[in-house]
Amino acid sequence: MVSPVLFAQVAWDEGVCIATAATLSSALYALLTVLALASLLSSTLKSLSSHGKTRSTIADRRFTVFTVPKQRFRDFYIVGFFVTCAVVSLGGDVAATASNRIVFTLVLLHLARRYHECAHVHRSTSSSRMHVAGYALGILHYLCLPFVLVTTKDVTGVTPGDESNHCDFLFILGCIFFQYQQHRHHLLLAKLRAHDRSASDPEYSIPIGGGVWVFFF
């Protein structure tokens, strides 16, 4: 008779589980990419994906009922943060490789920063909404994120995955630089809506200066 402890050890193979999750997440990401491209041509998909001021510019009004406040953007980063922490905690040797430690650290930095911006920087009005379908896709995006970024080649022995090199250093510097640029421009955008303006005023001033405008979801 197979011991329950032995069965649990066999059933939970960190490398196999993460590799499987990474494969499924990559497939879902491919589907999300197709939907994003299709929304450029479909008014229906554009209505579902729009939020904030962009919802007032679309012609399709059939999807104005099932909406949530745009402030719920912060939920995306909460979900992504805890899922990434779970992968780091339960991923075993796969999550402990040098390349994955670097990636997960930078992802957690990004998620924490974006949550801070949603909670304390952005100036969304009470009437700013997004469709529940777009909200659900955002949650799905951040559920898959850590699995898409994890490196699983080392599980099969193709690459060592546990040694850093000079390319990692350049990658870290580049990521930190763009993180800083995105945060700086979010601060600039927040200042464009003056404190003494009406809370219902959707207009922003024209941004001036600030160098290259860089934005990432």
Longest dimension (CA), the chain: 74
For the cut 60, the answer to whether the pLDDT of residue 157 exceeds it is: no
**Average pLDDT, integer, range 166-175:** 82
Q: CA-CA distance, 24 to 32, in Å (whole number)?
A: 12
Mean of all residue pLDDT scores within the chain: 74
Q: Which helix (H) or strand (E) holds 30?
A: helix 14-38
Task: Summarize the confidence of residues 12-28 as an average pLDDT.
Answer: 78
Is pLDDT at 164 greater than 50 in this prediction?
Answer: yes
pLDDT, position 196: 45
- What pLDDT does residue 162 have? 47
- Start-to-end CA distance of the chain, whole Å, equals 51
Tens digits of per-residue pLDDT, 86-114?
A: 988 887 777 778 788 888 999 999 999 99
The pLDDT-based confidence of 74 (bands split at 50, 70, 90) is very high
Tokens 């995006």 label which residue?
141
Tell me the per-residue pLDDT of 125-156, one tens digit each, with 9 for 90 and over. Answer: 777 788 888 889 889 989 988 888 887 654 44
Three-class DSSP category at 130:
strand
CA 103 to CA 30: how far, in whole Å?
21
Distance CA(174)–CA(139), nearest Å, equals 26
Per-residue pLDDT for 163 more than 60? no
Percent of the chain's residues with pLDDT above 70: 66
Highest mean pLDDT pick, 15-19, 22-26, 31-35, 143-147: 143-147
Could you give the dihedral angle defined by the CA atoms of residues 151, 144, 77 and 183, in that order, rounded to the nearest 10 degrees?
50
Backbone φ and ψ for 61, nearest 5 degrees, come out as -105, 10
Report the Cα 207 to chain-centroid distance in Å.
25
**pTM: predicted TM-score of the whole model, two decimal places:** 0.73
Radius of gyration of the chain (CA): 21
Residue 125 near residue 204, CB atoms below 8 Å: no
Q: Mean pLDDT: which of 29-43, 114-128, 130-144, 153-167 is highest?
A: 130-144
